[in-house]
Structure 1
Amino acid sequence: MRHTTFHFLLTFIFSSFLMGCQPASSSSEPASVSHTFVYTDASLLNPERGFFTPYELPNPAGFSSVRITGNTLVHLNIRLDDYRESDIPESQLNGLQTNFNDIREAGVKAIVRVAYNAGPYPDSEPDASKSQIIKHIEQLTPLLQKNSDVIAWLEAGFIGAWGEWHTSTNGLDNIQDKQEILNAILKAIPNRFVQVRYPANIIEMYPNPEDAVTAHVAHHNDCFLSSETDVGTYERDGVNTIERDQAYLAELTRFTPMSGETCAPFPPRSECTNAIQEMELLHFSAINEAYHKGIIRSWEEGGCLQEITDRMGYRISLTSADFNEQVRPGGLLKLTVNITNNGFASLMNPRPLYVVLVAQDAILRYETKLDLDPRAWQPGNSSFSASIRLPSKMEEGEYRLALWLPDEAESLQANPLYAVQFANENMWDESAGYNILGQVLVDSSVMGSYERGNSMKVESLSSEATTPAATSTPAPAASGDIISNLEVSNDAETVRFSFDYVSGEYNAFQLFLDTDQDPNTGFSINGIGADSLFENQTWNIYNGSGSDWSWEPTELLIQFEDTGSRVSWNISRELLKTSQFDFVIQIVDTNWDTVVATQKQSFTLK
């Protein structure tokens, strides 16, 4: 009897050992269930994107109100006017550290620029010598590195008027000195992008945009949409370089932050249709909320301000997620997620992506990091699939399945203010910074594969590249691409305007005339103040105030001809009441959006 009992115990212990060492089952996991999610158009306080609030330092600025106004970015203009020929005092560096502490406490991030003056142009106040600038960068390096967690990116600054890389009083307006100073900034904070003011400088230093991305060099435009060349942004030696520069920037800004400010209204280029087109093309992440108020007001009046507010940077939503809602401890959770980014840009700084299972008490949680870079979620559609092995001793019960995108910095990772929220209804856990996908039951009675392990781990992971968003639009075409062979002629009675055009679906051909040649009167378009609009065969008189579309049609029909490839107007000289005038030609599509407009043209009757 004693031997029989001993044999039974040995058999039981050995069997238990085998069960613990080998998979309990090789059967398939429970079937996945498809979950669809509802998009929300609510404004989101996501990090490192959107309108920014400007501050000038050093001073004891407060940042607690920034998130209240709907922003998560501040722009720090650090002025060193008093130290053009000396080191930065320790007291000033300590004051800047206090500013960064306050920024961290407020749950926002900063765009940083250092300058020695506030212009003006062309007679700027002094900047500093190259040697002094390099010394100041060395002094600022510990400060920048210590606070890189709350620095979104930097502007190159230091040189010239406003730190915008022109009008240097120390002779630094050359590519050699600019490159040396830029390299010093990049060395000071190698994990952040540094924006250069002029595309021509970037192209000269990095002819291939991929090399600029690798070097962490980006672009900021501080006169966005404010003239034909954005007040010299797209101009070199008197030549308009906007086509070349924007083609380069369209590639560069896919992977680098694009931001800046507007500096003067320049309708229609600065108005809604073109603003959104260029923000899409250049992948805008952020812009100054304070300047220029006239342009921002025109966006509000034109009905696009909310779209610009929501789409700056990234705006990521989930369309669907498939996963098995039941899994055993030690079993496989199979997850497929489909993502849409409706923003102008992608995420810019590195950010981890976790899959999290949170118990109902919100205390017990299991997580695993996916080897996937969310910056790859470019505007458009993306997806990924993962098979995740659960811990074999995982406590059974109901869990919430979540995706978590915290900040990369350990100092901010636990702060939900720095986590990314998806643009979906009833998904955001504000207290933890989680995006909740649904419920998963962990139960040992569930069938499926089994493997011993102490933590969640990813067994397989795949992703699909982003496809272009259907809403993406190209940059406005240059007139030479669509309009050609523009001619103006006259005889004793008639003035004839004609041009060839590339075929397409157009609603109207428009001829704007400025008969008093005063850009301050009439409808403002491309440098003229138009008092008459000939739209196809209709003659319209302007009765607005300069930027509003307010035209009164006349009963007089104009001789107008469209052959399908060339249009012409024959207009009586008596209507013009002048022998000199300026004009602009514009073509609009079936939505009455601008397809192309010429620059200002002038003509004197013979």
Structure 2
Amino acid sequence: MKMRRALSLLLAPALLLTMSAFSHGGVQCAGSSAPLVPQGLNYTENPVDVPNPDRGFYRANDGMVVPVTGQGSGTVNVGNSPVTVGGAVVNTRISHIYFDLRNYSSNTFTSRGTRYTASYRAPADVSIQSRPGDKPPYAYATHFDYWKANVLPTWPRGTSQPLTADALAYIRAKLQEVRNGNGVTMVRFNYDGLGYSWVSVEHPQDGYMDRSVADIEPDKATVLQHIAQLKPILHEFEDVIMGVDGGFFGPWGEEHSTTFGTSPQAYAWMLNALLDAVPESRSITVQGGAFVSWYNAKYHTHYTFQNIDKMPPPKAGTPEARFGFFNDSYAYGEDEGDNYPNDWGSLSEGAGWPGNPLGAADTYDRGRLMTWIRKQNNLYGGEAQGDATLWNTYPFVGWEAAYAQTVYLNADYEDSVHDRWGDFTYTKDNVKQKMTNAYEEPYRTEYATFDPLYDGRTGAEYFRDRLGYRLVLRDANASGWVKQNGTLEFDGSIQNVGFGNIVNKKNVSVVLKSKADGKSYTALTKIDARNWRPDLDSRASNTAAYRDLSFAIDMHKFGNVPVGDYDIYLKINDPKETTPNKRSIQFANNGEGIWDADLGANLLGSTTVNAANDIPVTRIKPGNGQVDLDFAIGSSNGKGYSVYLKKADAPGPFTLYSNVNYNSKGVHIKGLTNGTQYFAYVQRNAGGKTSRTETVSFTPGHR
């Protein structure tokens, strides 16, 4: 049977990226229109604060109470001023906004009445069992029981209702404040943003009370209605939303304690609603129990905290790949004793829920849980807290941050933890102390990696710089010159020395900036920066962690680029960014002029654009393992002509291809694989001048 495949002339070859990890030499690539020239940039890391979107310390924005009528109040901290974390100066680029929906639930409190405190006492004429001197019959066991039954119901409450037009306008206005700045936001919607429903008191007669006192969420239908109303806003501000906390359930929206907050069934319907409402490009951060509940319902499995580490790594594009983890007690954990391995219910949230649907409390294992988080390869962060333990101090806290790929942390909480990091001097002797609290087998690691770049600095500085991704250009080789109708080629390597990954998809563009007049010309590539994965060993000496950065771009992609000298830049920003230079990713390299703030781009090198000499291709005729390219050939014996070829899905530049015959119509290319797409062009060198055809595409096949 004869078959003919569709053919097309391509004015641009594919823009290619490979992810193999190796060093690149500055050698000429055979078949390129110009040799690849080493660029002589500074390829070392500068250990200073490099503010970037979607990573680092964040500023918490509490008290954003969504109004029923009016404009509401509260100003978003968009990171315009530096903040000190453990003595390290940080320029934040994340605003964590907690939108408080207290006015939209009949079960939550809009303000506090008389509070249960250490000094609270029930009326003297009420007999309380815990009060010394009171006698039976006791009306209540504790002062707390009396307060909850008689005082708490008098507190003012909201009304379960749809979000009003003013409410939606308020949320939009706050997100616009973020867009007007130079940062991004994590957003959370909750019904008790200030924790009015939580009591934490050491009472001299009742003892220690640390618990939720009310189910503060509205009914299921109202929660789902609110999520549906928020969907258009989340899509409208996709460009500045880093991610969305699961929220909605529990005090502070931290997904614990209430009936919904401890229900696998409730998490299944709530997270399904969020998957629909949140743009597909953005992640949803949840507690472990919330995710496992959703996953079990979705795939009819029965994972628990005993086997959470056996959950398969999510495949790209699946709904499970969209979930990250928010830890409201980051790095905390008891060292030993009766409370071990208590972590204040953050990592272990879900273990020990009523009826133990995900396993009993003692089935939680830190190593298994952290291994699941590592497999998710998504957003991981939260807020550090707790007194000093082996878990939240060096060297373990730095090692675990890399293992779990920590992306972001609260700059405002908790100072005592941050100060311990700031007091830690980062030296080899201190970092290489044996970690006696290391995970159990098979995840046991007893020694952290020491990075000499930070020798003598503080643990807070190390954390500041390593949170999330941090990109260092390690090698750069670019076309020494390129014709206006040629192909600009680049071969280099990059290293992500951060704890975490680039989670959100980014546009990666190449920018040519004229050295004569400063005008710039941009071409979008198909490079996926999310593939620049970090390694537990972030040292510069670990060349196995270098990721390939290569591209070949037809000059037509840049538009009409005048002849002249140009600097080559790499610009990395959100696909929906609305400004020319905000929220772009900056490399952490040493050297002057690496970062162009006006472009929002990083210097890769320079090249010269020369005048074009086109040879038009008039016909492409494929055959069995072969193809004929017809063009106006000046010498039928092929003198001065060369064919450059590459498979469409192959990495790297075009290479010289010699299995050809020339004729009066052009060139006959042989030895090809049927069903494989190729790119090719023909170049002529005659009389000291170079000309070439456009790049064409073809797929050989049976005729």
TM class by smaller structure: 0.5 to 0.7
Which AA in structure 1 matches 2:57? F
Aligned pair 1:66/2:67, yes or no? no
Aligned pair 1:218/2:324, yes or no? yes
Q: Aligned equivalents of 2:252 and 2:294: distance in 1?
A: 22
Q: Aligned equivalents of 1:213 and 1:324: distance in 2?
A: 35
1:79 and 1:325, CA in 2 relative to 1: closer, same or farther beyond 3 A?
same
Shift of 1:459: 9.6
Q: Aligned equivalents of 1:212 and 1:181: distance in 2?
A: 22
8 Å contact from structure 2 (residues 38, 476) kept in 1: yes
Match of 2:489 in 1: 334
Which AA in structure 1 matches 2:273? A
8 Å contact from structure 2 (residues 78, 182) kept in 1: no
Q: Aligned equivalents of 2:599 and 2:560: distance in 1?
A: 25
Which AA in structure 1 matches 2:326? H
Deviations 1:317-368 (A, max 9, x none): 1011111222222223221021011001111111011122111255533322
Map of 1:123-162 to 2, 5 A cutoff? 123-125=212-214, 126-162=216-252
Match of 2:370 in 1: 246
8 Å contact from structure 1 (residues 385, 461) kept in 2: no
Map of 1:188-587 to 2, 5 A cutoff? 188-206=277-295, 207-210=311-314, 214-215=318-319, 216-228=322-334, 229-235=342-348, 236=351, 237-239=360-362, 240-252=364-376, 254=377, 256-302=378-424, 303-361=458-516, 363-379=518-534, 380-391=545-556, 394-412=561-579, 414=580, 416-424=581-589, 425-426=591-592, 427-444=594-611
8 Å contact from structure 1 (residues 382, 463) kept in 2: no
Report SS of the residue matched to 1:417.
Answer: coil
Q: Aligned equivalents of 1:386 and 1:45: distance in 2?
A: 26
Report SS of the residue matched to 2:170.
Answer: helix
**Normalising by the residue count of structure 2, what TM-score does the alignment of the two structures yield?**
0.57
1:321 and 1:373, CA in 2 relative to 1: closer, same or farther beyond 3 A?
same
Which residue of the other structure, out of 42, 50, 54, is the alignment partner of 1:37? 42
1:264 and 1:370, CA in 2 relative to 1: closer, same or farther beyond 3 A?
same
Shift of 1:433: 0.6
Deviations 1:55-107 (A, max 9, x none): 12135333466132210001111111121022222212211111111111112
8 Å contact from structure 1 (residues 359, 398) kept in 2: yes
Report SS of the residue matched to 2:331.
Answer: coil
Which AA in structure 2 matches 1:136? H
8 Å contact from structure 2 (residues 52, 93) kept in 1: yes
Shift of 1:450: 5.7
Which AA in structure 1 matches 2:368? R
Q: Aligned equivalents of 1:210 and 1:409: distance in 2?
A: 25
Q: Aligned equivalents of 1:147 and 1:99: distance in 2?
A: 11
Report SS of the residue matched to 1:290.
Answer: coil
1:212 and 1:335, CA in 2 relative to 1: closer, same or farther beyond 3 A?
closer
Shift of 1:451: 6.0
Deviates further, 378-387 or 288-297: 378-387
Give the alignment's Cα RMSD to 1 decimal. 2.6
8 Å contact from structure 1 (residues 156, 194) kept in 2: no
Q: Aligned equivalents of 1:459 and 1:356: distance in 2?
A: 26
1:319 and 1:460, CA in 2 relative to 1: closer, same or farther beyond 3 A?
farther
Deviations 1:514-556 (A, max 9, x none): xxxxxxxxxxxxxxxxxxxxxxxxxxxxxxxxxxxxxxxxxxx
How many percent of aligned residue pairs carry the same amino acid?
Answer: 22
Q: Aligned equivalents of 2:325 and 2:31: distance in 1?
A: 55
1:397 and 1:461, CA in 2 relative to 1: closer, same or farther beyond 3 A?
farther
8 Å contact from structure 1 (residues 384, 463) kept in 2: no
Shift of 1:213: 7.1
Which AA in structure 1 matches 2:100? R
8 Å contact from structure 2 (residues 93, 182) kept in 1: yes
Which AA in structure 2 matches 1:67? N
Aligned pair 1:173/2:262, yes or no? yes
Runs of 4+ displaced beyond 6 Å: 458-461
Which AA in structure 1 matches 2:588? A
Which AA in structure 2 matches 1:208? P
Q: Aligned equivalents of 2:276 and 2:47: distance in 1?
A: 40
8 Å contact from structure 1 (residues 356, 366) kept in 2: yes
Report SS of the residue matched to 2:390.
Answer: coil
Report SS of the residue matched to 1:314.
Answer: coil
Aligned pair 1:163/2:163, yes or no? no
Q: Aligned equivalents of 2:407 and 2:607: distance in 1?
A: 36
1:408 and 1:89, CA in 2 relative to 1: closer, same or farther beyond 3 A?
same
Looking at both structures, which has the greater relative contact order when contacts are Cα pairs under 8 Å and sequence separation is at least 6? Answer: 2
1:393 and 1:105, CA in 2 relative to 1: closer, same or farther beyond 3 A?
closer
8 Å contact from structure 1 (residues 227, 266) kept in 2: no
8 Å contact from structure 2 (residues 61, 77) kept in 1: no
1:82 and 1:394, CA in 2 relative to 1: closer, same or farther beyond 3 A?
closer
Which AA in structure 1 matches 2:325? H
Shift of 1:245: 1.2
Q: Aligned equivalents of 1:27 and 1:266: distance in 2?
A: 61
Q: Which stretches in structure 1 are left out of the alignment for 5+ residues? A: 1-25, 465-606
1:462 and 1:272, CA in 2 relative to 1: closer, same or farther beyond 3 A?
farther
1:362 and 1:132, CA in 2 relative to 1: closer, same or farther beyond 3 A?
farther
Q: Aligned equivalents of 1:203 and 1:422: distance in 2?
A: 36
Shift of 1:463: 5.6
Which residue of the other structure, out of 98, 101, 125, is the alignment partner of 2:176? 101
Q: Aligned equivalents of 1:422 and 1:41: distance in 2?
A: 11
8 Å contact from structure 1 (residues 421, 434) kept in 2: yes
Q: Aligned equivalents of 2:384 and 2:605: distance in 1?
A: 43
8 Å contact from structure 2 (residues 224, 273) kept in 1: yes
Q: Aligned equivalents of 1:288 and 1:406: distance in 2?
A: 23
8 Å contact from structure 2 (residues 331, 391) kept in 1: yes
Report SS of the residue matched to 2:421.
Answer: helix
Deviations 1:449-487 (A, max 9, x none): 96679xxxx9967669xxxxxxxxxxxxxxxxxxxxxxx
Deviations 1:270-317 (A, max 9, x none): 112111111101111100011111101111111211111111111001
Report SS of the residue matched to 1:272.
Answer: coil
The structure that is strand-richer by fraction is 1
Deviations 1:112-155 (A, max 9, x none): 11111114151344222222211111222222221121110011
Q: Aligned equivalents of 1:381 and 1:463: distance in 2?
A: 16
Which AA in structure 2 matches 1:377? W
Deviations 1:405-437 (A, max 9, x none): 12210424x2x1211111112210001111112
8 Å contact from structure 1 (residues 153, 192) kept in 2: no
Q: Aligned equivalents of 2:374 and 2:312: distance in 1?
A: 12
Deviations 1:6-56 (A, max 9, x none): xxxxxxxxxxxxxxxxxxxx9753322112423222211211110000112
Q: Aligned equivalents of 1:64 and 1:363: distance in 2?
A: 34
Shift of 1:241: 2.3
Q: Aligned equivalents of 1:359 and 1:452: distance in 2?
A: 28
Which AA in structure 2 matches 1:176? Q
Q: Aligned equivalents of 2:187 and 2:222: distance in 1?
A: 19
Deviations 1:162-195 (A, max 9, x none): 2122111x54521111110011111111324444
